[in-house]
Amino acid sequence: MPSYKLTYFKHWGRAGVLRLLFAAGGIEFEDVRIERDQWPELKPKTPMGQIPILEVDGTIICQTKAIGRFIAKEAGLAGKTPLEAAQADMIVDGLSDLQVKIVDFFIEKDAKKKQEKIKEFAEKTFPVFLDTYEKLASSSGHFVGDALTWADVDFFSLMFFLKDHLPNDPLKGYVNLSKVRDNVTSNPGIAAWMEKETSH
Amino acid sequence: MPAYKLTYFNARGRAEPIRLLFAAAGIKYEDVRIEGADWPALKPKTPMGYLPILEVDGATLCESTAIARFVAKRAGLVGKDDLQQAKADMIVDGMKDILKKLILMVLEKDEIKKEELKTDISEKTLPEFLSKYENLANPSGFFAGDSLSWADVDFYNLIERVRAMFPGDHLKGKPNLVKVMANVKANPGIAKWVKERPESAF
């Protein structure tokens, strides 16, 4: 059994989905969460000066999606065929396109600009995204085939991340997407993990 | 043998890594290039409203990186095991930041701002990126394992785009990266494609 060591900050951020994938697969891993002031010392030791990083028996992988895909493969959540794997990849890539827009308003320092960006996101970008993704999800609540894949988990993770920043349940009225969320949260490993993460 | 139909604009752009991979493996595919005027009619038929798309086995894939990885897998160019594949994935994803900056610079209409962005790229972003990537490539000139992978091909394509916008010997003093470029150019399929591919503005 290889050793897995995931390093990130404490918050959900970019590593939330990675921890979920380990949980979904029932895979043991070292969940290292560093303080902000530990980062400068670690940064030069990372491949690209960023976290999260995953150390697998001494080899270091960076880039969230590369790590996510790796864990998904180990967990049997990367799709059953190369085509399914590609379909999962495209769903995940579309999610990270949205994440770029989220980060954009997140880091905006000008209060007025920030409000404008949030408004544009909430009223235009996000509904267009949800409309698109509703069509890509099946009525059984899967983005790929008829079983859970990391694409579903990644979608749930981003919705979870967003929930504190949006006033209402964003998936209200989106039948397929709500089913995706239900499928993810009813995965036993994920359910147990979320219980731990959200209770303090 | 499944039929592959790639659809994009008449440009290298986001489709070129995919075309290079088809060429590297000698896999036949339909290289559809649409006119801008034809795009609005096609757009609602795509999974997420943008190109490129790849139609294969009755399914339509979008997202250029997802498509490229799929083709790379068919071409045997993803890496030998899950860890090597993860290494190739991280190399490809790591190029997105600089690509984004290049695109922003190209699209910038304000000439002064454009020059600032250009200077930022040529004096900061590009050298930092190349230093990092020199350390991530091995002395044989491969990013993942010890044979050609799509990470090497993607890097080659990026450097060609960079050179078109920023002439200069950017790989001076970076022997690993020089080797990566040579390895990719030595692939007969790629060499042939680069010589024969349609001309386009970008």
Mean pLDDT (chain B) is 96
pLDDT of residue B2: 55
pLDDT at B1 over 60: no
Residue-level pLDDT at A145? 97
Sequence-distant contacts of B169-176: CB under 8 A, at least 24 apart: B170/B126, B170/B130, B171/B130, B174/B130, B174/B131, B174/B134, B175/B134, B175/B139, B176/B134, B176/B135, B176/B137, B176/B138, B176/B139, B176/B141
Mean of pLDDT values over A60-69: 98
Q: What is the pLDDT of residue B201?
A: 81
What is the percentage of chain B residues whose pLDDT exceeds 70?
A: 99
> Which of B63, B70, B86 faces A82 most closely, judged by CB atoms?
B70
Question: CB A56 to CB B57 under 8 A?
Answer: no
CA atoms lying within 13 Å on the CB side of residue B177: 23
φ, ψ for residue B168, nearest 5 deg: 145, 165
Residues of A within 8 A of B87 (CB-CB) are: 59, 61, 66
Q: For A109-166, how does the pLDDT look when each residue is reduced to its tens digit (9 = 90+)?
A: 999 999 999 999 989 999 999 999 999 999 999 999 999 999 999 999 999 998 877 7
List the single residue in A56, A59, A132 with the smallest CB-CB distance to B48: A132
Q: Which of chain A's residues have a Cβ under 8 Å away from the Cβ of B143?
A: none
Q: Å from B193 to nearest chain A CA?
A: 25
* A174 has pLDDT over 80: yes
Q: Does A65 touch chain B (CB under 8 A)?
A: yes
Q: Chain B interface, mutation test: which of A18, A54, A90, most B Cβ atoms within 10 Å?
A: A90
Q: Touching check for B78 and chain A: CB below 8 Å?
A: no
pLDDT exceeds cutoff 80 at B140 = yes
* Residue A69 pLDDT > 60: yes
The pLDDT of residue A200 is 67
B86 at the A interface (CB within 8 A)?
yes
Taking an 8 Å cut-off on Cβ atoms, the answer to whether B89 and A69 are in contact is yes
At B145-185, the pLDDT tens digits run 999 999 999 999 999 999 999 999 999 999 999 999 999 99
d(CA A18, CA A69) in angstroms, rounded, equals 9
